[in-house]
């Protein structure tokens, strides 16, 4: 039998859950949990680079999050701007590019301007990519892709008979980024919460009971170790993810 091909972990996606519960547990205002969670984001970017993981996608703000209290939404947008302001230069120096997926055009003007500036400033970096899912929903992404496909069929750019999974993927928000091999969700919840519904089809899922603000480098490494210990079958024969 031929030697088994090594499967490197290129892309990790994370549902960062538990900021509110962390704040309540410590007797703090809700927004303080999000502030502490921003520190965990920085640690995750650092450990991903340390482990050679090329893409890290973080579920930062969903399409459903607009339903939260107005002051909380404003606080989250302010935190995003502050995070980019505080860490963009450092990430740029370390060769990390910043990308965003979602309905970015619907973000508040100041937040969108800061985000687009960070994307432009870091776009040529090759050491790793931080993908922020902002105003993102998995169903919304698929609907947006379907609309673009319908337009291209109507305009004669493609034929409906040409449509297959590979072509459909080209209409998603970031078709050049490989699907995540590993998805992590913190705080012990067992839901996808409308996150990367297309891209997570064959991803390994790791559920951590740790609340996101406490999800440090060691917890991240535990998730990665779990991934490398699993057998990935993709509906076919066994294919173990090896170091």
Using CA atoms, how far apart are residues 104 and 76, in angstroms rounded to an integer? Answer: 15
47: closest CA among 186, 205, 216? 216
Cross-strand partners of 136: 62
Residues comprising the chain, all counted: 243
Annotation says 82 is catalytic: no
> Contact at 8 Å (CB) between 122 and 84?
no
Q: Parallel, antiparallel, or unpaired for β 55-62 and 96-101?
A: unpaired
> Contact at 8 Å (CB) between 5 and 182?
no
Question: In what order do the strands lie in the sheet containing 204-207?
Answer: 96-101, 128-136, 55-62, 11-15, 182-185, 204-207
Of 65, 92, 125, 194, catalytic: 65
> Contact at 8 Å (CB) between 131 and 173?
no
The SS3 assignment for 223 reads helix
Annotation says 65 is catalytic: yes
- Give the residue numbers marked as catalytic: 17, 65
């Amino acid at each position: 039998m031929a030697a088994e091909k090594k499967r490197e972990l290129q892309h990790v996606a994370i549902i960062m859950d538990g900021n509110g519960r962390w704040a309540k547990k410590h007797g703090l205002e809700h927004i303080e949990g999000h502030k502490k969670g921003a520190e965990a984001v920085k640690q995750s970017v650092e450990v991903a680079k340390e482990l050679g993981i090329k893409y890290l996608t973080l579920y930062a703000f969903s399409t459903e999050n607009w339903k939260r209290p107005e002051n909380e939404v404003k606080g989250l947008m302010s935190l995003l701007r502050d995070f980019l302001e505080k860490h963009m230069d450092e990430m740029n120096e370390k060769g990390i590019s910043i990308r965003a997926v979602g309905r970015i055009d619907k973000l508040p003007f100041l937040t969108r301007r800061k985000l687009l500036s960070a994307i432009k400033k870091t776009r040529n970096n090759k050491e790793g990519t931080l993908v922020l899912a902002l105003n993102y929903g998995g169903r919304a992404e698929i609907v947006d892709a379907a609309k673009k496909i319908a337009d291209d069929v109507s305009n004669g750019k493609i034929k409906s008979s040409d449509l297959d999974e590979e072509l459909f993927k080209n209409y998603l928000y970031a078709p050049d980024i490989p699907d995540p091999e590993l998805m992590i969700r913190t705080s012990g919840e067992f839901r996808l919460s409308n996150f990367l519904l297309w891209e997570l089809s064959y991803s390994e899922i790791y559920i951590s009971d740790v609340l996101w603000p406490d999800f440090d480098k060691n917890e991240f490494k535990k998730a990665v170790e779990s991934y490398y210990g699993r057998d990935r079958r993709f509906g076919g024969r066994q294919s173990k993810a090896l170091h």
